[in-house]
């Protein structure tokens, strides 16, 4: 089939694109738009490396057709920091040694942003673990992540209180 026109807002920038209907959101980001921070691990929904936020919700971009998401608002790891200033989640991952390898970390951070937005985990480490269990690495370097999530939530709540005041 010939290409189809779609529009996507990615990290705040509008893109008008022509895509083959077979192209996944993941391949579009990586191969066409040079946004290679989003990783391709399994390509089958099993590892979480390709996690992005679509309209504020985390999904596996490897199991999403780009055409099906025409008009969507996409946030990738490249759009998380504000210029040079790290997002509190990124800063907390550094502070608590929550970084995994280059393949796993972007997905972990995007998944954490989704988890916090969903508001289901709270300060319960067990629920944080469960909530991030869609991100799987092969070496199990998850140690600092729970601490990082707890701290990031605290920082974000503080920032919210400052804006409210």
Partner 1 sequence: MRDFDYIRPATIPDAIAAAAEPGSAYLAGGTNLLDLMKGGITSPERIVDISRLPELNRIERLEDGGLRIGALVRNADLAHDAAFAKAYPMVAEALLSGASAQLRNAATVGGNLLQRTRCSYFYDTASACNKRVSGAGCAALGGENRLHAVLGWSDACIATHPSDFCVPLVALDAVVEIEGKQGRRHVTLAEFHLLPGETPQRENALEPGDLIVAVRLPAEAASFAANARYLKVRERTSYAFAVVSAAAALVVDGGKIRAARLALGGVAAKPWRARTAEAVLLGADANEATFASAADAALADASPSGDNAFKIELARRIVVRALTSAQAGTPERLPALPASPFSSIPGARHDA
Nearest to ligand FAD of 45, 125 (CB atom)? 45
Contact mark string toward ligand FES, 101..120, x via CB under 6 A: x-xx----------------
Helices (H), the chain: 25-27, 88-95, 105-118, 125-131, 145-164
Taking CB under 6 A as the criterion, the residue among 5, 21, 45, 125 binding ligand FES is 45
Quote the least distance from Cβ 84 to partner 1, whole Å: 29
Quote the least distance from Cβ 143 to ligand FES, whole Å: 11
For the chain, the helix, strand and coil percentages under 3-state DSSP, each to the nearest 5 = 40, 20, 40
Backbone angles phi, psi at 37, to 5 degrees: -65, -35
Positions in the binding site for partner 1 (CB under 8 A):
1, 4, 21-22, 24, 43-45, 48, 51, 57-60, 63-65, 67-68, 111, 114-115, 118, 120, 124, 126-127, 129-136
Q: Measured between alpha carbons, how far is 144 from 162 in angstroms, rounded to an integer? A: 27
Taking CB under 6 A as the criterion, the residue among 62, 74, 146, 150 binding ligand FES is 62
| Secondary structure (3-state) at 100 | coil
> Which residues within the stretch 38-77 sit at the binding site for ligand FAD (CB under 6 A)?
45-46
Question: Which has the closest alpha carbon to 114: 49, 52, 42?
Answer: 52
CA dihedral defined by 60, 66, 70, 74, rounded to 10 degrees? Answer: 40
- Which positions touch ligand FAD (CB under 6 A)? 45-46
Contacts with ligand FES by CB under 6 A lie at 40-43, 45-50, 60, 62, 100-101, 103-104, 137-139, 141
């Amino acid at each position: 089939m010939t290409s189809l026109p779609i529009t996507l807002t990615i990290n705040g920038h509008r893109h008008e694109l022509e895509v083959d209907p077979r192209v996944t959101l993941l391949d579009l980001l990586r191969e066409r738009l040079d946004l290679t921070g989003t990783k391709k691990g399994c390509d089958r929904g099993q590892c979480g490396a390709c996690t992005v936020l679509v309209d504020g919700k985390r999904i596996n971009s490897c199991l999403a057709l780009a055409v099906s998401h025409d008009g969507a608002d996409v946030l990738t790891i490249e759009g998380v920091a504000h210029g040079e200033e790290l997002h509190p989640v990124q800063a907390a991952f550094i502070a608590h040694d929550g970084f995994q390898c280059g393949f796993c970390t972007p997905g972990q951070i995007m998944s954490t942003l989704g988890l916090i937005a969903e508001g289901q985990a709270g300060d319960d480490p067990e629920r944080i673990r469960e909530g991030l269990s869609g991100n799987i690495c092969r070496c199990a370097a998850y140690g600092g992540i729970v601490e990082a999530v707890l701290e990031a939530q605290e920082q974000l709540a503080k920032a919210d209180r400052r804006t409210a005041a």
